[in-house]
Chains A and B, each alone.
Chain A
């Protein structure tokens, strides 16, 4: 605390530790040893697990070993699959980023560095559960087996686009794959996830919901609405906060203020609130599974903060070098999720550098083949595109007279 010497007030505006040109510094981020955070029973009193909101649950140590009470939620085969999903997502991102630079689409948003969060989480859910994602959880689709060609068709807004060219790239939607339609406006889906979960409870169903939000969007009013409703009705929902340190150019301290963590926000609502290493595939899965079990056993909602780092630009319209050091992602103390899982699998003897290189090549072929398939249907400015009639359809179940008149005016 500084003493008020002048007697006049001054406004505090938080600043990140470093700006472009500065030396990246994460010395303020306290990283507990892997395996050091306890694993409570899912029905433990939330009041007794407040410590979990201020630590970081980690499974993989520096040597790539899985240690501690959160280890062991997945077999090696499942981990291999997880590695493949993360690598698929990364290559998918690379190809779509390039497609945007080539003018094949207007926009793209990548997941670089955050692949473990959505890929590992998806494996803790079952068919019928519903995610309410943001625009940075495509791993839910990839790990859920959604056809990659359809994702590309959406990005290209071509004539096979499942959303008929109505939505911006990456704002996917698939009820069948438990992926709620993404909206451009932040945080709205967080409270909707709670409502969906309440509905499942009202109907005495067994399905659960998961809400997703970024660090920056926690400042939106709907974050609060979601926590109040989830807490009041003990909705079977997992409330995920992906703290990638950045909201476009704004560092997470602008949204978090003086509170220790985003997970701590859940404590005031009586929610068990866990903080997890978002770059540790095993830890993410174990925590997600724990929260899913809590929800499924009707014990109530859980808030999870995934501590990660947004390695890439916010979007294809963004240049992070204007607001943060270029080398900052390399200094990020939780490393890279793909490399960490790879090292673990090598450590347990299930994987090798050679096989990894082989799989990288195979994945690239898979994605390139999907891309060729999608481009047969067209890209944003060339080839097949959704019809003008599609533009007028679907505003209502039944087209009202005024829209019919407008469609006629448009000549379709």
Chain B
């Protein structure tokens, strides 16, 4: 089976989807001729032509608004917002339009649009190249929110997202583009070549939306994570020797509550980790759900390890990013509780 980086897997997903369905179009800033600032769309314009993959004016609301119009016509646009940090001008189109077309028209118009956006920190991106705005989407009814953590899932989930009849926010942890990252920024960078999930079928396949997966089975505590933090959680479990069950949520909305509840009922403890800021972050929703559904099984308070409630700083990158030291400390404290 071929080995791919996450970039290559994402590109392959679009390639397969465009090949498979003439209605799939790909566009965004620098996405056409140049192939994207992260190379995610490299070669697609050459292969499918300028009307299937093209560059757009720098206007995020325009990108999403035009995609919605195309979807109303019958196309399946897969568009890119260069950084999740720059999706805000499109927020109106995403929340009031894309998310509600089906509902407000009683299914007369639908919005099968996929909006890809590189997300997350750990790359010295500072305030506007590091944000994790997923909670701003999970609060919006009508959207689906996906965050892959590896090349295999990235391809399968992206194809499933493009085929999905409703709008999907596809958040790509850019720190994982070229290799897994467990938060040990002082160690040499590793590549996907050595990782089992870097093996990705060249052809069409899907990973279903709304399904979480247990990355590391364990019995002591359940750790709920997604994106980069899946790798941090896995590494921390090994380093601390605490037998954590690490769940990679993959889709935040709709959420695979069943897998979560089954795990927490088994372990009796639950930790949520995410890069996004703490207050009103997606972790709050997870903690509330676990509390509602697993109250009598909980042996300790639910713990959230998250980004601090500050804008994402530059110089203090590793004091901000919830790396293995912070997660490990929280895990140990939790096991003593």
A interface with B by C-beta (< 8 Å): 130, 132, 162-164, 166-167, 171, 173-175, 180-181, 183-185, 188, 190-203, 209, 221-222, 224-226, 228-229, 232, 394-397, 400-402
Known A173-B108, A229-B57, A400-B253; further 14 A-B contacts with Cβ < 8 A: A164-B106, A167-B104, A173-B105, A173-B109, A185-B92, A191-B93, A192-B66, A192-B69, A192-B97, A195-B69, A198-B70, A199-B73, A222-B61, A226-B62
Q: B67 interface residue, CB < 8 Å from A?
A: yes
Q: B246 interface residue, CB < 8 Å from A?
A: no
Q: Which A-chain residue is minimally distant from B142 (CB atoms)?
A: A395
Beta-carbon contact of B102 and A225 below 8 Å:
no
A173-B109, A188-B93, A401-B257 given; A199·B165 CB < 8 A: no
Beta-carbon contact of A195 and B165 below 8 Å:
no
Beta-carbon contact of B102 and A396 below 8 Å:
yes
* Bound CA span A196–B69, Å: 4
Q: Which residues of B have CB within 8 Å of A194?
A: 65-66, 69
Beta-carbon contact of B104 and A130 below 8 Å:
no
Beta-carbon contact of B66 and A396 below 8 Å:
no
User: How many residues of chain B are within 8 Å of chain A by beta carbon?
Assistant: 45
A394-B103, A397-B165 given; A175·B108 CB < 8 A: yes
Beta-carbon contact of B104 and A225 below 8 Å:
no
Beta-carbon contact of B104 and A166 below 8 Å:
yes
B interface with A by C-beta (< 8 Å): 25, 51-52, 56-57, 59, 61-62, 65-70, 72-75, 89, 92-93, 96-97, 100-110, 141-142, 144, 165-166, 210, 253-255, 257-258
Beta-carbon contact of B104 and A199 below 8 Å:
no
Beta-carbon contact of A229 and B106 below 8 Å:
no
Q: Which residues of B have CB within 8 Å of A395?
A: 102-103, 141-142
Q: Which B-chain residue is minimally distant from A221 (CB atoms)?
A: B61
Q: List 28 A-B contacts (CB under 8 A).
A: A166-B106, A173-B105, A173-B108, A183-B96, A183-B104, A185-B96, A191-B66, A192-B65, A192-B66, A195-B68, A196-B70, A198-B66, A198-B69, A199-B75, A200-B73, A202-B25, A202-B51, A203-B73, A222-B62, A222-B92, A222-B93, A225-B62, A232-B56, A394-B107, A395-B103, A396-B144, A401-B254, A402-B254
From A163, A180, A193, B106 is in contact (CB under 8 Å) with A163
A394-B106, A396-B102 given; A195·B70 CB < 8 A: yes
Beta-carbon contact of B25 and A173 below 8 Å:
no
B164 to chain A, nearest CB (A): 8
Beta-carbon contact of B108 and A188 below 8 Å:
no
Q: Which B-chain residue is minimally distant from A400 (CB atoms)?
A: B254
Q: Which A-chain residue is minimally distant from B57 (CB atoms)?
A: A228
Q: Which residues of A have CB within 8 Å of B103?
A: 166, 394-395
Q: Which residues of A have CB within 8 Å of B108?
A: 162, 173-175, 181
* Bound CA span A192–B100, Å: 14
* Bound CA span A188–B108, Å: 18
Q: Which B-chain residue is minimally distant from A162 (CB atoms)?
A: B106
* Bound CA span A155–B69, Å: 25
Beta-carbon contact of B62 and A191 below 8 Å:
yes
Beta-carbon contact of A181 and B69 below 8 Å:
no
A325 to chain B, nearest CB (A): 35
Beta-carbon contact of A192 and B68 below 8 Å:
yes
Q: Which residues of A have CB within 8 Å of B56?
A: 229, 232
From A171, A193, A203, A228, B104 is in contact (CB under 8 Å) with A171
Task: Tell me which of B62, B96, B258 has the highest count of chain A C-beta atoms within 10 A of its own C-beta.
Answer: B62
